[in-house]
Chain A
Amino acid sequence: MEWPGLYNYWIVIFLMMAGLYVVMARANLIKKMVGLSVFQASVFIFYLTMGKVAGGTAPIVIPGNPVYSNPLPHVLILTAIVVGVATLAMGLALIVRINEAYGTIEEDEIDAQEHDS
């Protein structure tokens, strides 16, 4: 196999695993959201990568007989980015409310307060 081969996919896998790890391993809610965003971003890169056609150019009508990259994944991922932004906004808004209600955004401290009540 040619090294590094389709290295984009290695980046995708690295970001995906790093993001999931942060979501699971960090107790700070903001850090969890960061991890979640990294995880989602990895999927965006995955879609963009698969739209690429070797030697292809942007899908704009130009004279000659050019090879075009596939524009559909880009359009799809535009939608997914919007969803990602909405999720991030929603998550951060909830964190603000959690901070008001508990006075902390550390998951273990929140759990301790919930078990006391």
Chain B
Amino acid sequence: MIAAHLPALQIVVPLVSAPLCVLLVKARLAYALALVVCWVAFAISVLLLGQVLDSGVISYRLGGWAPPWGIEYRIDPVNAYVLLIVAAIGALVITYAKPSVAREVGSGREALFYTSYLLCLTGLLGVTITGDAFNIFVFLEISSLSSYVLISLGQDRRALTASFRYLIFGTIGATFFLIGVGLLYQATGTLNIADMANRVAPIEGSRTVQAAFAFMAVGLAVKAALFPLHAWLPNAYAYAPSVVTAFLAATATKVSIYVLIRTYFTIFGHDFSFEVMTLGPVLMVLAIAAMLIGSTISIFQDDVKRLLAYSSVAQIGYMVLGLSFDTVLGVTGGMLHLFNHALMKGGLFLALGCVFYRTGSVNIEAMKGLGHRMPWTMAAIVAGGLSLIGVPLTVGFISKWYLLLAAIDSGMWWISIFILMASLLAIIYVWRLVEAAYLSPSPENAPAGEAPLIMLIPTWVLVLANFYFGVDTRVSVGVATRAAEFLLGAGS
């Protein structure tokens, strides 16, 4: 009985718990509730992935209304995989959150923090699970509005302007998506994604459909922070509370990339996206520019959170590069990097949260000698950094390997040069951290001592996952390949 309603519970549980957090008022109670809810959401996503892999696509009718009239939750190998990533990161980050939130958000606002966190999780899960184009917009705005709140809770006053800038960008992006959905509705008369996909194919030549494609592609590129539409991202990540940065960096842009994938491959189909609209070269150029420029800028950052934020811009380039090949190998590489980057950046930003918790700064100056003062935290940062570079035995290597294979497979071996160049740039910015932490003396009277265990354990779980999935690739590569085959098979 319950098993049949898992898709609805995935959304309803965090959505209903969010206002309960406000009513609980006390930080400890709100934290306990949020913790339980996030782990329940994670358990549901594991069960859903199991069901999808066993018995194929799940179609859930919300309120019993049959699609295409009612809203349908449709779970296939692609979004079951993304759901799992989002829910897993959500659960790990909330476990870590309590001491960090108490320090960075301040008393009296903690219950509200957990409310926004749960709403943001609801929105991200909702965008992923739904099979209705308008529903995507609604959930996208739920997650965005709550993330504006989360970012503005940062201590630095620049968090406010960063949040405001994100609000302007995010609203324009989401409204562009809405315009695209409207044009598609006009052309096809449906909002259900599966139904839309069938009806778009015969009217490919229509100017309305082409305009819809353009609006949706640009709007989602803003939300995903695809270069050159990434201007909102660095400040938003740099000044948000550490917990929020870790959560958003590992999930929010990934979900936008997922919607991009849905739009390109499922709604419009890859024949239309890549042959009629010639999306491939456009994405490829933007992706390579993102990889090189993002990595180069991050070398010159002194604020380590900002450094990693620019590195995120570069990593989004890798994901989009994978998509731009329009082959099973390429999309597998992109999907793999989506998963792997969530592990690396989640781990790295959580470790930085530990640094901030103890030293009150994440500037590179403040990290001098940190390797001796906070050995476990610093080791986590180095391990995450290795994964970011793509050293063998880490997940970063696996996804870059697949991207290289895809480039060679598509006959574009020269792209591998850009992948290698971006990796070399990553070595430079990771080395700056290593140099500061291990080869420079600590300033006098520097605070020493490790962060609390409750913060270190989730950090290390994510960091060790980087190595586990870097060695045992059966699960991650297997699921990503199935997702890619599903996407390209559905499109042709």
Q: Which residues of chain B from 119 to 171 have any CB-CB distance to chain A below 8 Å in the complex?
A: 134, 137-138, 141, 145, 148-149, 152, 157-158, 160-161, 163-164, 167-168, 171
Establish whether residues B172 and A73, one from each chain, have CB atoms under 8 Å apart when the complex forms.
Answer: no
Asked whether, in the complex, the Cβ of A94 is within 8 Å of the Cβ of B182, the reply is no
Given contacts A83-B141, A90-B145, contact A32 B168 (CB under 8 A): yes
Whether the pair A73, B185 counts as a contact (CB closer than 8 A) is yes
Q: In the bound complex, do residue A94 and residue B158 qualify as a contact, i.e. CB atoms below 8 Å apart?
A: no
Interface of B is mostly: helix
Query: Looking at the complex, which one of A29, A43, A79, A86 makes contact with B145 (CB distance below 8 Å)?
Result: A86
Count how many chain A residues have C-beta atoms less than 8 Å from C-beta atoms of the other chain: 28
**A21: min CB distance to chain B, Å:** 12
Q: How far is the CA of A47 from the CA of B157 in the complex (A)?
A: 38
Distance in Å: Cβ of A116 to nearest Cβ of chain B: 12
A94-B160, A98-B160 known; A43-B175 Cβ under 8 A: yes
Residues in B with CB closer than 8 Å to A23 are: 168, 172
Indicate if the CB atoms of A79 and B175 lie closer than 8 Å.
Answer: no
Contacts A47-B182, A50-B186 hold; do A98 and B161 have CB atoms under 8 A apart? yes
Contacts of B186 in A (CB 8 A): 50
Residues of A within 8 A of B167 (CB): 87, 90-91, 94
B344 close to chain A: CB less than 8 A: no
> Which B residues are in CB contact (< 8 Å) with A91?
164, 167-168
Complex CA–CA separation, A62 to B180 (angstroms): 34
CB within 8 Å of B: which A81-117 residues: 83, 86-87, 90-91, 94-95, 97-98, 101-102, 110, 114
CB pair B178 A102 closer than 8 Å: no
Nearest chain A CB to B71 CB, angstrom units: 12
Give chain A residues whose Cβ lies under 8 Å from the Cβ of B179.
43, 46
- B443 to chain A minimum Cβ distance, whole angstroms, is 21
| B160 neighbours in A (Cβ, 8 Å) | 94, 97-98, 101
Report the minimal beta-carbon distance from A78 to chain B, rounded to whole angstroms: 11
Query: Given A43-B178, A73-B185, A86-B145, do A94 and B168 touch, yes or no (CB 8 Å)?
Result: no
**Chain B residues near A90 (CB-CB < 8 A):** 145, 148-149, 167
Show 12 residue pairs from A and B whose CB-CB distance is below 8 angstroms, ordered by the A residue.
Answer: A23-B172, A36-B168, A50-B185, A73-B182, A73-B185, A86-B141, A86-B145, A94-B164, A95-B164, A97-B160, A102-B157, A110-B161
Binding site for A on B (CB under 8 A): 134, 137-138, 141, 145, 148-149, 152, 157-158, 160-161, 163-164, 167-168, 171-172, 175, 178-179, 182, 185-186, 191
Interface residues of A (CB under 8 A from B): 20, 23, 29, 32, 36, 39-40, 43, 46-47, 50, 73, 76, 79-80, 83, 86-87, 90-91, 94-95, 97-98, 101-102, 110, 114
